[in-house]
Structures are given as C-alpha cells and as structure tokens.
Amino acid sequence: MTDAHFFNDEPFLNHEEGSDLLGHGQYAQHVIGLLDRVRDQTETGVLALIGPWGSGKSSVIGKVTRRLRDTANDDGWLVAELNPWLYSDLESLTLALFSEIREVLPNDGRWSDAREKIGGFGKAISPLGKVTALFGLDSEGLIQEVSDRISGDTSASAAKHKAEEALRKAGHPVLVVMDDLDRLTPEELLVVFKLVRLVGHLPGVYYLISFDERTLLDVLQRSELVGNSEPRARDFLEKIIQVRLDLPAFRERDADALVDRSLSAVLASYSLTLTPSEQQRLSEAYYRYLQTRLRTPRAIKRFFGQVDATLSQLTGNVDIVDFLIVTFLRTSEPRAYQLLWQHRAELTGTSVDLPSRRDERPGQDIERWRARLQEAGVAEQHLDGVIGLMGMLFAPVRQALGQGINFQAIARRRGIGSIDYFDRYMVFGIPDDDLPEHTFETALQQLADDAPGTEADELLLRLRDDTQRITRRIGYKRAAGTPLPTAAILKAAAPHYGHLTAAPQGALGLFTADRAMDVLAKDLLTDLAEPDRPAILKTMAETSDGAVLAARTLRRVTSRNDSDSPDHTQAAATLDWIGEARSLISHEIARHLAPSASRPVDELTEPEITLLWAWRHTASEAARAWINQRFDGAWTPLDLLAVLLPPDREPFPVIDNDTLQSLDALIGLEALHNRLGPLLDTPAADPDSSQDEHRQRILQALREHRDNALING
C-alpha cells in the first residue's frame, strides 16, 4: 500500500516517519525551542501560530504536542488541549481549562497539592451550579461545598494565590493548546481571550493558539468591544499575544512536490501507472489550470482524498486524467460539476443543435458556457480555468475554444466526453447497463479461445440489448490497433442478428441496432485475409439470421471493392473470393428457405421474408429461379409482393426506384410484368376489382413504372 493518509488531520504521516516534505516537522521543532526560551524569560505567555486556512497549522500543532509528550521528563512540558467550541460562556470555559490542567498533572503524591489547589481555584471562581460539572458532586457533596464556602476562606484571590504557589512549587510547565480560534463567533472569541489573558494567567501555564489572521480580524471587528476598525482589532490582538509565529509560506515547489507525492500514493494504491500521453495531458491540466487552485496542503489533501475515495470502483474503467479533472470540478466547483449532467448530450456530441444555434457566430458557445458557469457560482478569476478543463474533457467545448476535436480519441481512452463512458464518471462505478472493461476483455478472450464462459455470454447479451454501444466499443479497439478475435466475433454475433432489441439512436433515431451490426461486420470482415472470408461467411450463414448478416456484409464489402478499382491481378483475386462467398451464402439461404416452399406465401415468417430480400445480394439468378419456380406452383406474384412490401410505408411510395431495382434483382421485372400482365392492364379505378387497397397500390405503382419505362424507350 502507501503512506498516504488522506482522511485524517495529517497530510501523509501519522508519526515522524519519512521525509519532512512540507517542513512542518522542522517548524514544530522551532516552536518547541521557542517555548523553552519563553519559559526561561517569563512565568506565563501566549504564543500564536498564524497562517491561512488549510496551510498546515493543525499539522504543526499536532507535531508539537506529540513531540512534547514523547519527550516529557521530570521538568518537561505537560500538554493540555482545550476545544473552546464546546463552551459558550466564560464560566464553562474556565471550568474546562482548570479541569484540563488538573487532568494533565501526574497523580503521584508530589502533585497532589497542585491538583488540589487548581481544583480549589476552579471552585472558587465558578457558580455553584457548575461546580458539579467539574467535580461530579452529588447532592450531599454540593451541600458540603456550600457549607465550606460560608465558613472558610473561599475568596477567588486567595484561591488563585494558593494555586499559583502550588504551580511554582511543582516546576512543570503546562502548555494549553487551542486550535482554530478563527472559527468562533465574536462573543466566543472574546471569552477565550479573557480566559487566557486574565483568569488563566497563571505561573507555569502557557498557551499556544492558532488562527487565520484575516478571518480572526474580521471576527473581532464584528464584536462590540472592537467595532468595525481593523487597527483596533490589531491593537487588541497585540495585547493578548506575546509571541507571534507566522507559518512559513507554502511555496510553489512545496505544492508541486505535495501534489506529486499525493498522485504517486494514489496510483500506487491502485497499481496504476501513467502512460506518456497521460502524463502529457495531466501536466497540461495541472500547470495550466489546477496549479493555482491547489495552493494549500488542505486543498491538495482534500482533492486527493476525493480521488482516493471514489477511484476504487473505476480503476481500469475510466481515463485516469479525465477522472482527476472531473474529481477536481466536483470537489472545488460542485455546481459547475452538476452542469455536466444537465448538458450531457451537448457535451458528448449526441444532441440535436437547436435551429437558433446553427448560425451562431464563433465564440458564442464559449459565451454561453461562461454565463452558465457564472450562474453556477464560479468566481470570475476561475472561469477561464474551468472552461479550459472542460475543453480537455469535451470535444464540443474544445471546438468552441478553436482547437481540434476527435471523438474517436476520447472514446478510445474511455473519456467522459464519450457517451459510452460518461455515466461511469457520474455514478462513481459501472452502471448496471454497462459492461466493465475486465468483463469485456475476458469475453473477447473467451471468444478468441473458443472457450464459452459467463463473460462471453454477457457480452453477447449486451450485444443484443445495447448493440450500438457494444459495437462502438469493439470499433474503438479496432481503431486503436488492438488485436481482436475478428472471426470469432463474426461467428458469435451472426446468430443474434435477428434478435437485436436495442432502441434506435442518433439525432433522428436513424442509427438502428442492425445498422450498427452491419457496419461492424463489414469492418471486421475487411480485417480478414481475402482467402479466409468465404469460410467465415459460410459459418455465419449457418443460421437464418446469420445468413442475412452474411449476405448484407458481403454486399457492403463488395460495393467498396468495386469502387476501389483494383488492378487486374487484385481484381482477379477479389472476384475469386467474392464468387466463392456468394455461392456458399446462397446455398445456405436456399437451405433455410426450403421449408417455406411448401407453405402458402402468406404464411412466410418475418425472418424468411428478410432472408428472401437478402438473397439478392449473393446470387440473384438463383433467387429469381427459386421464386419463379414457386410461381409455377402455389404462390402468386401479387401475393408475394403484398408480403414483401409492407403497407405501412406511407407517405412514401409503396415502390420507389430503389425498391424497383431490388425487385428486379430478386424476381426480375420483365418476368414480373409478364406474370402480372392481365392485372396491370386492368384500369386502376376498376370498381369491379377484387384486390384489396394495398394490392391495388402495388399494381398501380408497377403499372406507372412499366408505362414510364415504355415511354422512355
């Protein structure tokens, strides 16, 4: 593991092991030496450790108190810690002070007199009602206390004198530590100062207090004693404090070193290392935007504490640099972080631009984000930095800043700017509808090894229900040059092709699941050597659904090859494998359709209809021969057309030019016209027609196309 401790009061070390990275140990030793010098010169005193919030005051005080306690000897320091936040009035705080002092005094006989006299002073200056809080008196003891006060010498001055004599005789200095005084109310702060300057002004008792000076002065100026005057507030402090200890400045190099050590500790905790490109991106983010915000030990510890608290479920599933940037936004600008979810589609490039934004002049996108961030409470001096960080995460913001964009690069590194990975950063884990990277990698390996497993089953299930995202993720790996079990993916995906349930995606909902699978299958097939393709396509076509995918994939690949115009040798090789593939797929399609040959045409299933359409991509001659053979039997051309052409295409034509070409490839227009001749010659508005409306529309469309063809020669 690591020596990093992000969730306690110390930035890293609970004790003194390791290097003194921030110089707190060295400064603590300086404070201890100064305490000894003050003790040599005066019987009591108040020392103040001063520094901004988060600068490490509590760390220094913690080291001072530990070292004093660890090195205590017969005449060494006794340390009492008093938390003034717990007490609202001078009496309660005074009781607490004497209780703490008495508790740190040893219990042996040498100290019995001092313990008794300190208790006597506390009782003498305390109201009777609060004596029980300090001494735990029951009703009988309280009655005795009243009697003693009436009959004895119980004046506060006499009790204080006895306590002073006892403390001088004991010879042990007592250090009372009070931290974070700047967090008190004005009234509470004045109570503390009255205590240390007046009531608690005892020989051998010293005070070490700490605060942020700017904040403390503001608090004092809200009090009636000082009023709204900073000079009066400073004069008041000078009367209280004898020795001022300003915490050494936290230098830029100290902050950089602490950030570097914190980052190394987190990475080591999760066995992570940064790649050169990740180091470059993180350096850009830090030195351009983060360095000025991580300026105190507390800010750095708080940031990396949040990183450490939320990274465990995401290790290996997100881009570490994006995760660090998002964590900074969440920690330092929480309302700006909420905008990420609110504008998720815009930031991931999956929204439809509003018409009002299409003609925007350059820079308006950034102006819109500046306005959003200002409304979210981002300070003016931080606006450019937050926008710069968002530009490192999201391509649209980067583009608005006039820089290049690459959605593929974002997706390949699993960045938040990709819609496929965005949710992981926002839910601090892998959503139920997502597939962890380890599962994804294992599933691909199982497919490659032809070793079925739960991971491969899960991948294929997600391929059915979340087709677009899974195909994109496979595509990201392919684009990155990662070796893939190409043939195994094609074989495994083919039987599921007809059962894809993922909803359409894209701006207009046009990117359907089968379209996503078509694109991936085409890319994967082109990655295979040409001689290997026919066998893979045949295996894909062994199921009815797979045969449709194989036919469509072959069509896409051959269309590309036709447009590439290869040289003669390449063309011959291409034709060889294409011809073989077409023949093999056609054979499988004929096998799948064989049972339908003996059934009425209106009993064709949806998969069989799809398979018929796919046949035209492989061996149109074989398809035409098979269909026309059915026409010589029980099937009729018009009944088949009514099945092949759905009636729900309105307002689109029932047969457009593309459909006409497909029918020509599948059936043959000339043969179709010949077989439908009498019906086509019947006037369209014949009231005696026995055809239903859908069939009439089909006939009318064919009639118009035939007549236009005759007119155009």
pTM, full prediction: 0.75
Angle of helix 128-135 relative to helix 139-151, nearest 10 degrees, comes to 120
Q: What is the pLDDT of residue 361?
A: 60
- The answer, yes or no, to whether residue 111 has pLDDT greater than 70, is no
Mean pLDDT of 16-25: 63
- CB of 336 within 8 A of CB of 293? no
Q: State pLDDT tens for residues 663-699.
A: 999 998 888 888 888 888 877 655 455 568 888 888 8
Of the pLDDT bands very low, low, confident and very high (cuts 50, 70, 90), residue 129 is very low
- Given a cut of 80, is residue 9 above it in pLDDT? no
Q: Tokens 């009697």 — which residue?
A: 147
Q: Looking at residue 311, what is its pLDDT? A: 94
Look at residue 564 in the predicted model and tell me its pLDDT.
44
Mean pLDDT of 410-415: 94
Q: Percent of the chain having pLDDT more than 70?
A: 84
Cα diameter, the chain = 135
pLDDT classification of 297: cutoffs 50, 70, 90: confident
User: Is a pLDDT exceeding 60 seen at residue 136?
Assistant: no
Of 582, 569, 591, 660, nearest to 621 by C-alpha is 582
Q: Which residue has the higher pLDDT, 581 or 53?
A: 581
Assess whether pLDDT exceeds 90 at residue 443: yes
| DSSP-derived pairing of the beta strands 174-178 and 205-211 | parallel
Average of pLDDT values for 11-40? 73
CB 453 within 8 A of CB 443: yes
Q: Is residue 8 over pLDDT 60? A: no
- Which comes out higher in pLDDT, residue 117 or 22? 117
* 566 confidence band (pLDDT: 50, 70, 90): very low
Token pair in block for residue 85: 């936040």
Based on its alpha-carbon atoms, the radius of gyration of the chain, rounded to whole angstroms, reads 42
Name, in order, each residue with C-beta under 8 angstroms of 189's C-beta and a sequence gap of 6 or more: 181, 216, 219, 220, 223
**pLDDT tens digits, 308-356:** 999 999 999 999 999 999 999 999 999 999 999 999 999 998 876 544 4
3-state SS assignment for residue 48: strand
pLDDT > 80? residue 7: no
The residue ranking higher by pLDDT, 496 or 149, is 496
Length of the chain: 713
Backbone dihedral angles phi then psi of residue 56, each to the nearest 5 degrees? 110, 15
Q: What is the mean pLDDT of residues 157-168?
A: 77
Stretch 445-468: mean pLDDT: 94
Distance CA 538, CA 547 (A): 8
For residue 217, what are the contacts with CB-CB under 8 A and spacing of at least 6?
Answer: 230, 233, 234, 237
